[in-house]
Structures are given as C-alpha cells and as structure tokens.
Amino acid sequence: MEQTTQKPEELKPEHKENRAVTALKALGSAALGFGKAQLILLGVNFVVITTGMLIAGMKGWSPLIAIGISLLDLLPVIGSGIVFVPWAIVALLLKNVPMAITVGATYIAMVVLRMILDPIITGKNIGLSPLLTLAASVAGLILFGAAGAIIGPAIAAVANILFRVLFPKKSAKKAEQPETGAGGSEQSPPGA
C-alpha cells in the first residue's frame, strides 16, 4: 500500500533520467553505425578505384592512389572529384584518351555506386529507412550544400532517436489499438 501512495511527481525525475540515458545510448549507437557505414563505403570506393587504376595501367600504384582518393571522398566538400576531374582533363589535353576515359569511367562508377549504396548502408546502420535517409541527404544538400549529404542524415537520425525516446507512449498506443478495437466498444479502466 505504501508504494501506491507515492506521488507521480516523485517518479518523474528517475523516468526522465532513464529517457536521457536511453537517448544517449541510442545516439552513441547511431554514431557508431554512421562510422561503420562510412568505413563500408570507403571499402567500396577503394575496390572501385583500385580496379579503375589497374585498368588504367597504374599497376603497383593503384592501391595507394585508391586509399588517397577514398579518404578525400570522405570529406563532403572536397570529395574525389577534386582529383578525378582535373586528371581526366589533363589526360585529354595530353591526348591520352584511354587514360581520360578510364579515369572518367572510374569516377562515374564511384559516384553512381555511392549514390545507390549510401542511403541503403547508412540508413541500415543508423536506424533509418533508405528512403528517409535519401530524403534527408537531399534536404541536407539543399540546405547546407555539399556537407549536407552527411549533415542531413545525421539530423534525421538524431530527430528519430529523440522522438522515439521522448514519445514512447504514442508507439505503445498504436500497438494496443487493434486489441481494443477487436472487442467492439472500448471500455475505460476502473477508477478513470
């Protein structure tokens, strides 16, 4: 009986603390997921660039070039285009058409693969659907420029986590609705 006489206000600070801890854990998990997604995408870029450089005849230099360009590609404002576009132009000016085509094709393949895989891999690792991740990336690009491709999904992930932690009752009520609707009429609990 003593437990039922406690005021609800006394339980609220602990409940808020649990929500804060849950939110921090979820944010940490999302940050680790984002890092994991970037490493996976770095690996994909490395494979694509190494393959392109081997085709271009760079032989032993291919992995080293691939690492450098893949690391540049992690920086949203700089990106890999800062290397590939001038390289292709210089190759054309020097009348090395096969090199220009190979470098251009490698860049296009890398960009297309990243556009396809980024929302899928990032969304999966930060807890968002690929469509929402893509929408957040596009919104980020519009609002923040090139850096928005990373900022947009990060903001969406944080908003998603905070919404789930701060409003857990809404999702619980949605789960209970089919149960109350199946009985015909809803009854209020005794004492309400």
Give the mean model confidence (pLDDT) for residues 28-51. 91
Per DSSP, the three-state class of 127 is coil
Lowest mean pLDDT across 5-9, 27-31, 158-162: 5-9
Residue 14: C-alpha distances to residues 5, 18, 162 (Å): 17, 6, 18
pLDDT at residue 16 is higher than 70: no
**Spatial distance between the Cα atoms of 119 and 122, rounded to a whole number of angstroms:** 5
Q: What is the pLDDT of residue 68?
A: 93
Q: What is the pLDDT of residue 15?
A: 61
Q: Model confidence at 10, in pLDDT bands (50, 70, 90)?
A: very low
Percent of the chain predicted with pLDDT > 90: 28
Q: What is the pLDDT of residue 12?
A: 55
Q: Determine whether 156 is exposed, middle or buried from the number of CB atoms within 10 Å of its CB (0-12, 13-18, 19+).
A: buried
**Spatial distance between the Cα atoms of 88 and 100, rounded to a whole number of angstroms:** 4
Average pLDDT, the chain: 80
Q: Which is nearest to 75 in space by CA: 40, 38, 50?
A: 38
Give the mean model confidence (pLDDT) for residues 64-87. 88
pTM over 0.85, yes/no: no
The residue with tokens 């085509």 is 101
Give the mean model confidence (pLDDT) for residues 125-142. 87
Q: Model confidence at 52, in pLDDT bands (50, 70, 90)?
A: very high
**Spatial distance between the Cα atoms of 97 and 52, rounded to a whole number of angstroms:** 15
pLDDT at residue 166 is higher than 60: yes
Q: What is the pLDDT of residue 174?
A: 57
CB neighbours (10 Å) of residue 100? 19
Q: What is the pLDDT of residue 176?
A: 55
Task: Please report the sign of the dihedral spanned by the C-alpha atoms of residue 116, residue 119, residue 121, residue 124.
Answer: negative
Give the mean model confidence (pLDDT) for residues 111-118. 87
Percent of the chain predicted with pLDDT > 70: 78
Q: Where are the domains of the chain?
A: 17-126
